[in-house]
Amino acid sequence: MARIGIFGVSSQSGAAYFADLLKEGSLVYGYARASEHGRDVVEAIRRQDGIQVDRPDNELNEKSHFVPLLGSEVGHDLQRLAQTSDLIIFAHPSQYHEETARQLADFLPRDRPVPIVLSPSRTLASPYLWRILGDDYPLVSFQTCPYACKSFTPGTVYLKRRKRAWVASAEGQVGPRTLTILRKLFPQAVFSRTPAATSLGNIGAVFHPTAYVLNLAAIRQAAAAGRVFSFYQEGIARNAVVGPIVEEVDQIRLRIAAAIGCPVFGLRERPREDEWQEIMQRVQHLESQPLSDLHEHRRRRARLLQPIHDAVVSGQHWLAYTYGVERVPGESLPAAIGRTPNFMTNSFPQARYADEDVATGLVPFESLAQRLGIACEPITRVIDLYARESGRDARAAGRNLRDFDLEYLRRHLLGEMRCLALAS
């Protein structure tokens, strides 16, 4: 039985991971910092001997349920997390990943590197973590968090939706056993041979910071009036000013990927729509078949999507394979977001949309664009505005890439420094 550690069990996604892994029969140690919130979560889970999962109406007809611990534990023991886990999931915002790696470094076994899953990694996390943990330390980057979820009270998680598919890249000396464990735990994940698929596939950097920063005045006005600002609908889909800027940030991201040498779907200059439609027709045929084994169905779907997962895709294309939003060729990104069921209700603006995704998304995008000679004024504008509103210098504190030359970054993103398990 795999022993899974979670750093950040007190976070929203940490609670979702904890519940699902318990249900799958894994032995889990959920670590939370000994903050007031962290202590409340640990005490609640211990007191009720498990975690409550609340579900809305869903296509799987999964009801709200309680998941007992059954031998798994939660606590504040960092040494235990590091030394008793077969792999560790970082389930907290990516701007804290370096700090977490430094905290873990003294406890990680010297003779048995414990692979770390970054959920999500955002952009170019691995080069920064390798400076702390050692060159080629085994890291697995998730392009996105597998869950749309909230945690309203300690010891519970509201699991709005599990994503249908997502990209993961194995970076550094990730061994076959680790990939076997992850594929069993997360059959929806497809492992790309190109880290660009996760780093430049950082969709959070497209959807979150620009819409949050440019809508900040409206968000504050709504809060003052006691009204929830519908982040995706008011902030992007129905916003004639902000929506097109979000789409332009997406296109800059795709131009960076194309300039690096990555395969791309959805670039205005070369959309590759016919190739996309051919792949998706095969997926749709699979979806039309009777569902007998959900895990096998997800594995087959992931295999069909492999060419897409080895590429960097537009926001519209990402919505199609992640949330099943039917692709409409030529449709704008705001319009596609407006049709996404998961974004129609309970889409609350969160400060982390800026605090995390400016530093770990827009800052490295800007750095790469400037080095490659790609115009990136909308990104620069949002970073500057964030600095004025927050008083934080995200370029100084974030992933500015100043310590890495462009050729090293290019080779890393293209998978030329390929991991052990995906080398063949």
Residue range 191-212: average pLDDT?
95
Q: Name the phi and psi angles at 251, rounded to 5.
A: -65, -35
Q: 398 by DSSP, 3-state: which?
A: coil
Of 222 and 321, the structure prediction assigns the larger pLDDT to 222
CATH 3.40.50.720 occupies which residues in the chain?
Answer: 3-192
For residue 173, pLDDT over 80 is answered with yes
Q: What fold, for 3-192?
A: Rossmann fold (3.40.50)
Span 3-18, mean pLDDT?
98
pLDDT tens per residue across span 309-348: 889 999 999 998 888 898 899 999 999 999 999 898 878 8
One of 1.10.1040.10, 3.30.70.380, 1.10.490.10, 1.10.240.10 is the CATH number of 204-413, namely: 1.10.1040.10
Q: Which tens digits make up the pLDDT trace of 265-313?
A: 999 999 999 999 999 889 889 988 887 887 788 778 778 878 888 899 9
Burial class (CB in 10 A: 0-12, 13-18, 19+), 297: middle
Q: Give which of 315, 316, 304 is closest to 190, Cα–Cα.
A: 304
Question: Which residues of the chain does CATH 1.10.1040.10 include?
Answer: 204-413
Query: Which residues have CB under 8 Å from 324's CB, separation 6+?
Result: 164
Predicted local distance difference test score (pLDDT) of residue 307: 87
59: confidence class by pLDDT, cuts 50, 70, 90: confident
- Its pTM stands at 0.91
- Of all residues in the chain, what percent carry a pLDDT higher than 70? 98
pLDDT tens per residue, range 387-416: 999 999 999 999 999 999 999 999 999 998
- Residue with the bigger pLDDT between 192 and 242: it is 242
